[in-house]
Structures are given as C-alpha cells and as structure tokens.
Amino acid sequence: MRLRRTHDDVVVCDRMSLGESFSERFLGLMGRGSMDAGEGLYLKTSSIHMMFMRFPIDALFVTKPDDSGARKVVGIREYLPPWRGIVMPVRGAEASWSSRPARWSAVASPSMTLSSSKRTAEPSPR
C-alpha cells in the first residue's frame, strides 16, 4: 500500500505493510534489524511500544478516515529509541504509521491529511 499527502498527491511512503491480524499487530517490528527507505508499517492503534525493538522509528498518529478516505494527522513522535517502552496514546488517533527516523517530520505536519491507496506499480528494485 502507498501513503500520500492529499493536498499535493506526493507519495510519502511507497511500501506500507498492514498489521491486520492479532499476531501482526503484536509483533509489529520486533525482531527486525531495520527498515528500508520508503517502507512503513500501519497499525490500527493509538499507542505503540518500543520493547524488543532493535532500531529507532518515527511514528505518525492519524484519525479515522473521513468520507473521502483521508486521515488527519493528530500526532508525530520522532526518533523513538529502541527499548523505550510504551509510547503514550495520542488523543483522537485511531491508527499509527511507523517508519525509519527523520521521515515523517519532513513530509507531514499536524492537521495535514493523508490517504492510502493500493500500489499501482511495483517499486523500483533496491
């Protein structure tokens, strides 16, 4: 899945994985050594943790989708270090997107709207 800004259609995350099942949400990014540029993880939760993580991440918290499918950014937590513990819930958030550090603040800001779409083309090879 792709994540893009609604006001200018810029892709901000090219490869967003969905944490849909209980085990996918529970495990999240635990056990992984890193994330590639353009990669992210979507979790339907307003709070995350950093236990058993091996690398820092940035997290973006968003509302439920509106009628058009867009979600409003209600919180950004930058450079969350590994083993930090629980990241407190963000008021008004229904979901979170996580990526490598120094990614979200460059492309999103509070009150901005984002939307996701199925990828129409495969990403370029790494």
Gap between the terminal Cα atoms of the chain: 17
Write out the E strands in the chain: 2-5, 11-13, 15-19, 39-43, 48-49, 57-62, 71-80, 86-87, 95-99, 113-117
- Average pLDDT (94-105) is 78
Domains observed in the chain: 2-109 (2.60.120)
Please tell me whether the overall predicted TM-score, pTM, comes out greater than 0.75 for this model.
yes
In the predicted model, is pLDDT for residue 93 greater than 90?
Answer: yes
Report the share of the chain in percent with pLDDT over 90. 12
Q: What is the mean pLDDT of the chain?
A: 82
Quick check: 118 and 79 in contact, CB under 8 A? no
The pLDDT tens digits of the residues spanning 24-47 come to 887 888 888 888 888 889 998 888
